[in-house]
Amino acid sequence: MQKFSKENLRITKFRLNLPATDLLLPCKVDEWLQIAVRNQIAEIELQGPVNYKLPRFLFRAKSLRSLCWTNLVIPYYEAVDLVSLERLELWRVVIEERMLLHIVSSCPLLKDLSLSNCSGFKNIVIPCRSKLEDLFIEGDLPIDGKVILETSSLRSFEYIPDDDNNPWPIISNRGLLRNLRVITVYSVSITNKALAELLPELDSLEKLEIAYCDMLTSIKISNTQLKQICLEGCYRLLNVVIDAPCLKEFKYEGNIIPSLSITNSSQANCSIHICIRPSYFEVGGFCKLKKLLTGLNRCNVLRITLPINLFKVSQMS
């Protein structure tokens, strides 16, 4: 690396995976990162050692475009000048809320932010001046923690907590989600009413994925841009109504057969996959399945999956 520096050769990517136990490594990492920054580093992937605090000079590296950090600590620094940063991935990173906000606010080109099992903050705030397009959050937020969206630039939002029945975290003023094209939520306590109020705001939505949201019992989806819908593991869901004329793919997976109504215009060019996985399938289940199939006679492709042990069927006719 020093040879590259002396010959004025640019270092494009720096990847380092360190053991967590070597206490002498942090000072060496600082030296290596300094050389990389001097050589106009564009991408850094850095994992460990645990509790390693990222140095101040790294946040003034104007050449950085992509950062992926794991098992690190990000202290608060007043000066953040990552003017070229486009992508930031943080995995099991400790970062204060004000520092996270500072980075998102100070990086004019930041488009992609991933936070996986990070700590040190309560809320995730995406301010109005941010140009963020893709936001991925994995892991539980603190109690009463919120995702506060103040920007209309967001195109994709994915929220996948570890535990079940997490509160619906999003706070956004009406109209700010109008450009959202993809939304994926797992294991959140979103109600029928909350979802019904949210969907009309998503004018540009193309993909909707809802999984393991057990408070949902009835869903009505009406959207002219929607192309993909996936409903999985919502075990109390009894009624689904879909009016989406551009729909290309619909997937339902659960242990009950809901009352499913898809308009003919929505079925015209649509591939439909229904996966029923009950532990016990009685004659009433087949009656519901027959009723379901009757309403799906206009779709392009229909796939029905019944992964059950037929020896457990009580009656068949």
DSSP of 155-214, one letter per residue? -EEEEE-SSSSEEP-EEE-TTTTTT--EEEEESEE--HHHHHHHGGG-TT--EEEEES-T
Q: Calculate mean pLDDT across residues 32-38.
A: 91
Q: Which residue has the higher pLDDT, 224 or 286?
A: 224
Strands of the sheet containing 239-243, edge to edge, are 218-222, 239-243, 259-262
> What distance in Å separates the CA atoms of residue 31 and residue 33, rounded to the nearest whole number?
5
pLDDT at position 316 over 50? no
pLDDT at residue 317 greater than cutoff 50? no
pLDDT on residue 283? 66
Residue 20 is predicted with a pLDDT of 64
Mean pLDDT computed over 249-258:
88
Indicate if the pLDDT at residue 171 is higher than 50.
yes
pLDDT at site 22: 64
Q: Is 96 helix (H, G, I), strand (E, B) or coil?
A: coil
Higher pLDDT, 91 or 175: 91
The Cα–Cα gap between 214 and 23 comes to 46
The confidence score (pLDDT) of residue 254 equals 87
Which secondary structure element, helix H or strand E, spans residue 46, and what is its range?
Answer: strand 43-53
Chain segment 275-308, per-residue pLDDT in tens:
887 655 666 777 778 888 888 888 888 888 876 5
Sign for the CA dihedral angle at 15, 21, 23, 24 comes to: negative
Q: What confidence score (pLDDT) does residue 295 get?
A: 82
Instruction: For residue 271, give the H/E element and its range.
Output: strand 271-276
Query: What is the pLDDT, as a whole number, of residue 10?
Result: 84
Which of the pair, 259 or 205, is modelled with greater confidence? 205
65 to 12, 26, 95, 131, 136: CA distances (angstroms): 10, 23, 20, 15, 18
Mean pLDDT, range 119-137, rounded to an integer:
94
Predicted pLDDT at 312: 53
Reported as a pLDDT band with limits 50, 70 and 90, residue 144 is confident
Query: For the chain, what percentages of helix, strand and coil (3-state, to nearest 5) are there?
Result: 20, 35, 45
Contact call for residues 148 and 173 (beta carbons, < 8 A): no
**Mean pLDDT, the chain, whole residue set:** 88
- Residue 162 φ/ψ, nearest 5 degrees: -80, -45
